[in-house]
Chains A and B, each alone.
Chain A
């Protein structure tokens, strides 16, 4: 009796999917889809009407981009970075339309731990502030900041996901933080959202 087959890794699924293996494509999508949907939710807000569209179109784009994927980063990060781009694009369109449908406080649904309602509100306001900032930043800065703050990627992971040198990532983050700083300085209420410094 032979050894049981090793479970498929995201990397092996990505490689097979890149070669047109439809079975691997389906498995890979199911593997990365929760993170992609979560990314869309995080960037757009759960009530945003484009969340599902962004997630779905990101999945399509992911499959189309796989032939060029060289394993520079984890497939999940690659997938999430694609979702980030779609979500930011949707966010920019929304900004253009000047409609606000996505930043409602979702105290009742987003948390199940013991944090207080006040904490929930402050957390969602901070998320909203970041989302709004992302909608105003230049594209590459917005993408970099989103990968870092929204997805929590490290500097190196951001560099791999965006295929740019580490110093470029640093530069983009620095510029994005300058914009964040100006926003904080211009809006004192944002400072109130911050917990006291340690």
Chain B
């Protein structure tokens, strides 16, 4: 074994950390003089360290990642992380239909989408997006606190989007600009999965007092926001049947609320996950029927998936519509793959 075979990795580490002693520096330099591989490594480490951090897209990427999480967190397991990570790489590998189907709009639950006033708003206009849209950045769910365009929130005083400060390069601070509930949140209740407290999507005035869950069936207490919270809590706890019941009740009792629109979107994907694409399709189409733009891209993609699952001839048109309206969509790759695979019209 020659000297270059005995690479002094610890010395390279200490050199990188700037903690070499004079004697160690001498030893390292003697090795580097005869070992191009270590010289290359040392210089390449410095080269990579000089790369700047990729900050501008962080909010966008985090939002998309949150939207792509499965409905319930996996239980704690005792196995080491490496195997699981490797499996995750294999499972989630981009373009994975399985991961794609699992994606719920968790970002909406986290307050990354700020719904509009729920119960007092007039009926929504429908038929939005029937015509071609200008290309938009690939953002399945908006991080902009004003994620709902002004024309989607009648009565809103939100200025036009063009007047909003750009959030693209802002520090990650997705907290909604609108007032949060005055009462403090029960932070201690957020430490267990069963007590996950998603962002309140409803109006403050509708929310029950902190710590008090609305009793469904009692009209005095039940609001769109309270039903939404209950449905979300059930969904994140993995209780899909209960979540489905709550979302359906919400959509039935408060059909014009923003929560109902989100509920249609979440329920649509939930039903797809449950292998009920026909029902899921109905929910997703309800989302598209006047739903906010923040949900539209995602709903279009899942509607296309539902049609695919049903082997419906409209699947091709659905994927094409997604690409037409959102050419930079995160789902664009899947859309193009499906369009190649589907029979020509």
A residues sitting closer than 8 Å to B (CB atoms) are 16, 18-26, 29-30, 33-35, 37-38, 40-42, 50-57, 59-61, 63-70, 72, 78, 81-82, 85-86, 89-90, 110-113, 123-124, 126-127, 129-130, 148-152, 154-155, 162-164, 170, 173-174, 177-178, 180-181, 184, 190-191, 193-195, 197-198
Contacts and interface: CB of A to CB of B under 8 A. Distances in A.
A114 B14 CA distance: 26
Contact of B74 (A64, A82, A193): A64
Given A29-B65, A60-B92, A41 B79 contact: no
B149 interface: no
Contact of B7 (A85, A177, A198): A177
A149 B94 contact: no
A126 B42 CA distance: 11
Interface stretch (B30-38, B204-212, B213-221): B30-38
B44 A130 contact: yes
A89 B93 contact: yes
Contacts of B37: 177-178, 180-181, 184
Contacts of A23: 110, 190, 197, 199
Nearest to B192: A19
B44 A85 contact: no
Nearest to B13: A154
A78 B57 CA distance: 21
B4 A181 contact: yes
Nearest to B76: A67
Given A127-B48, A173-B7, A56 B54 contact: no
A126 B48 CA distance: 9
Contacts of A129: 40, 44
A37 B44 contact: no
10 contacts: A22-B196, A29-B62, A29-B66, A42-B48, A55-B57, A61-B92, A64-B92, A70-B80, A86-B93, A155-B13
Nearest to B107: A26
A67 B39 contact: no
Contacts of B88: 60-61, 64-65, 82
B40 A21 contact: no
B61 A85 contact: no
Closest 3 CB pairs of A and B: A59-B65, A20-B193, A37-B54
A27 to B, nearest CB: 9
B13 A22 contact: no
B183 interface: no
A110 B81 contact: no
Contacts of A123: 43, 47, 50
Contacts of A194: 36, 39-40, 43
A152 B65 contact: no
B286 interface: no
Interface residues of B, number: 79
B337 interface: no
Contacts of A162: 82
B174 A26 contact: yes
B190 A53 contact: no
A109 B276 CA distance: 48
The dominant DSSP class at the A interface is helix
Q: Looking at B41, B52, B94, B197, which has the most chain A CB atoms within 10 Å of its CB? A: B94
B227 to A, nearest CB: 18
Nearest to B194: A20
A41 B4 CA distance: 31
B70 interface: yes
B47 to A, nearest CB: 4
Interface string B1-34: 0001101011001001100000000000100110
B236 A152 contact: no
Nearest to A72: B81
A164 B79 CA distance: 13
Given A34-B54, A68-B77, A177-B37, A85 B48 contact: no
B75 interface: yes
B182 interface: no
Given A42-B51, A55-B61, A64-B74, A19 B197 contact: no
Given A56-B330, A67-B73, A198-B33, A21 B196 contact: yes
A43 to B, nearest CB: 9
Contacts of B255: none
B342 interface: no
B72 interface: yes
Given A63-B73, A191-B36, 12 more contacts: A21-B191, A23-B110, A30-B58, A60-B99, A61-B85, A63-B69, A65-B84, A69-B81, A123-B43, A163-B81, A181-B36, A184-B36
Contacts of B109: 22
Contact of A56 (B61, B78, B197): B61
Nearest to A190: B40
